[in-house]
């Protein structure tokens, strides 16, 4: 009887929470169990680039040039972070945070265990289409977009062969695959990300996301004397990760259930 490990990582806000539950069958047989690790932590990093705001309104064609190239610049900033300015938005730091050290240990212990089947789902809110959760596979996952859709019965998928695939920095999914390779683990590992879009994924949505993030960072380091300003900044920033709209929340639950059932039915069978 195969030992099974299911790991679900939830990355939503800025607090860490661990819940683990497991069940083992009769000791005479190989135990079948499911372990669920739930964490809530901050997502990603965002860098400020002078190119985005250095627009010369007097220069012919300069504005159109910035708009044409700005989307890529902002996308890079949103997804890869910056490591130069400690007071800048989404600073990546110079070393591992305590939560990162802890999670690395969890991953290591998972791979060192006797479990033969490991499923890890890293759940993000933030980037992506507003009303469609996307299964975002690691670049190290061999399943194509079409194969993933068919296996899980879920239509919104980005894989290494997708036209919409984009590079990110610091993903737990990529780290898990690299760790498994370095340990020469024989476990059947599947590590993926559920990405819940909140604002949207258009160029203007990226601008709005950038503005809310910069506003929050400025409020943190240089608080406004106005209580109202502080509350507005906080509300706008929260909307980037957990929108208050009922339609969004209901669709989030619907998509999460459908994708989770699809993944677990396929990978833990």
Q: Residue 269: what pLDDT?
A: 76
Phi, psi of 8, deg, nearest 5: -120, 120
Phi, psi of 168, deg, nearest 5: -130, 170
pLDDT above 70 covers a percentage of the chain that reads 68
Q: Residue 169: what pLDDT?
A: 64
Strands (E), the chain: 4-11, 117-126, 134-137, 157-158, 188-197
What SS3 state is found at 134?
A: strand
Tell me if the pTM is above 0.75.
Answer: no
Question: Which of 103, 89, 96 has its CA nearest to residue 45?
Answer: 89
Q: Residue 108: what pLDDT?
A: 96
Q: Residue 94: what pLDDT?
A: 87
Average the pLDDT over each of 11-15, 207-211, 241-245, 258-262 and give the range with the smallest value: 11-15
DSSP per-residue letters across 175-211? HHHHHHHHTT--SEEEEEEEEEESS-SSHHHHHHHHH
- Distance, in Å, from the CA atom of 209 to the CA atom of 78, rounded to the nearest integer, reads 9
76-102 pLDDT per residue, tens: 655 667 788 888 887 888 888 899 999
What is the arithmetic mean of pLDDT over 58-84?
Answer: 54
What SS3 state is found at 82?
A: strand
121-137 pLDDT per residue, tens: 999 898 788 999 999 99
Please state, as a whole number, how many other Cβ atoms lie within 10 Å of the Cβ of residue 164: 12
Please state, as a whole number, how many other Cβ atoms lie within 10 Å of the Cβ of residue 210: 20
Taking each helix axis from N to C end, the angle separating 98-112 and 172-182, rounded to the nearest 10 degrees, works out to 40
- Distance, in Å, from the CA atom of 42 to the CA atom of 78, rounded to the nearest integer, reads 13
Angle among Cα 253, 128, 169 to the nearest 5 degrees reads 115
Tokens linked to 250: 């209901």
215-236 pLDDT per residue, tens: 999 999 999 999 999 999 999 9
Question: Which of 174, 111, 118, 179 has its CA nearest to residue 141?
Answer: 174
- Distance, in Å, from the CA atom of 44 to the CA atom of 160, rounded to the nearest integer, reads 20
Q: What is the mean pLDDT of the chain?
A: 75
What is the arithmetic mean of pLDDT over 45-57?
Answer: 32
- Distance, in Å, from the CA atom of 172 to the CA atom of 10, rounded to the nearest integer, reads 11
- Distance, in Å, from the CA atom of 217 to the CA atom of 220, rounded to the nearest integer, reads 5
Confidence of residue 72 (pLDDT cuts 50, 70, 90): low
Contacts of 167 (CB under 8 A, 6+ apart): 79, 80, 139
């Amino acid at each position: 009887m195969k030992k099974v490990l299911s790991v679900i990582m939830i990355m939503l806000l800025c607090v860490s929470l661990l819940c683990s539950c497991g069940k083992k069958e009769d000791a005479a047989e190989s135990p079948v169990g499911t372990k669920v690790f739930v964490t809530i932590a901050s997502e990603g990093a965002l860098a400020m680039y002078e190119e985005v705001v250095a627009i010369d309104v007097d220069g012919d064609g300069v504005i159109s040039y910035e708009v044409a190239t700005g989307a890529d610049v902002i996308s890079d900033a949103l997804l890869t972070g910056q490591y130069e300015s400690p007071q800048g938005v989404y600073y990546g730091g110079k070393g591992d945070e305590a939560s990162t050290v802890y999670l690395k240990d969890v991953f290591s212990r998972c791979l060192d265990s006797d479990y033969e089947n490991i499923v890890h789902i890293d759940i993000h809110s933030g980037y992506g289409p507003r009303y469609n959760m996307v299964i975002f596979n690691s670049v190290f996952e061999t399943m194509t977009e079409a194969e993933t859709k068919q296996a899980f019965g879920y239509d919104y998928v980005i894989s290494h062969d997708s036209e919409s695939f984009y590079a990110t920095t610091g993903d737990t999914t990529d780290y898990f695959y690299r760790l498994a390779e370095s340990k020469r683990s024989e476990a059947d590992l599947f590590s993926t990300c559920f990405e819940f879009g909140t604002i949207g994924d258009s160029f203007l949505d990226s601008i709005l996301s950038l503005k809310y993030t910069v506003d929050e960072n400025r409020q943190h380091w240089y608080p406004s004397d106005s209580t109202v300003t502080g509350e507005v900044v906080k509300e706008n920033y929260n909307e980037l990760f957990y929108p208050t709209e009922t339609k969004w929340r209901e669709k989030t639950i619907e998509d999460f259930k459908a994708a989770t059932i699809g993944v677990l039915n396929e990978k833990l069978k």
